[in-house]
């Protein structure tokens, strides 16, 4: 059962209207647009930091350097920032002009070219900043634990 007065079948994901009230259709479209917008915002919020985390670990392993983030630090960061902050985005109210927009092209993906470029650019900048910070801290004799803590806080602040 979907929105009041609608039913979605599993086979073809078609919507069957069980009443002829136009406001039911308008409510379903509005809710669908809100959910889509919030899903896109959440994905675009989480992806750059996750890319930066992955780049930090992969490049450090390939270079033979100290792993900048331990699994526990990554888990803490994802639980404390990504999960909790994305809840606010997931349940955000719809924008004021949500029903004035034309319908979105169903062939377009959530991660279009601009979104991919933005995730790559922001994730790359975060990773680059963390590498520069690590390269600056290491020769100054700081402990690996201190460097990991600073890098963790850098990633959290960047997010």
| Structure token digits, residue 141 | 């004799």
8 A C-beta contact, residue 151 and residue 56: yes
Report pLDDT digits (tens) over 74-115.
888 888 877 777 777 777 888 888 888 888 888 888 888 999
Q: Helices 144-158 and 22-63 meet at what angle, rounded to 10? A: 150
Helix axes 144-158, 113-137, angle to 10 degrees: 150
Task: Give the Cα separation of 46 and 108 in Å (integer).
Answer: 20
pLDDT in tens, 50-63: 899 999 999 888 98
pLDDT per residue as tens digits for the range 106-156: 888 888 899 999 999 999 999 999 989 988 998 999 998 999 999 999 888
Helices (H), 7-94: 22-63, 71-77, 84-90
Give the integer Cα–Cα distance in Å for 40 and 81: 17
Q: Where are the domains of the chain?
A: 33-158
């Amino acid at each position: 059962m979907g929105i009041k007065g609608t039913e979605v079948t599993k086979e073809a994901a078609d919507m069957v209207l069980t009443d002829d009230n136009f406001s039911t259709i308008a409510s379903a479209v509005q809710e669908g647009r809100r959910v889509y917008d919030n899903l896109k915002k959440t994905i675009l919020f989480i992806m750059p930091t996750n890319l930066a985390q992955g780049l930090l670990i992969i490049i450090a392993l390939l270079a033979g350097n100290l792993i900048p983030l331990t699994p526990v630090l990554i888990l803490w960061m994802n639980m404390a920032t990504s999960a909790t902050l994305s809840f606010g985005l997931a349940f955000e109210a719809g924008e004021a002009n949500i029903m004035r927009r034309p319908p979105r092209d169903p062939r377009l993906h959530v991660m279009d070219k601009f979104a991919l470029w933005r995730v790559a650019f922001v994730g790359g900048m975060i990773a680059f900043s963390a590498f520069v910070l690590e390269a600056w801290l290491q020769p100054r004799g700081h402990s690996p634990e201190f460097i990991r803590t600073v890098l963790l806080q850098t990633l959290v602040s960047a997010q």
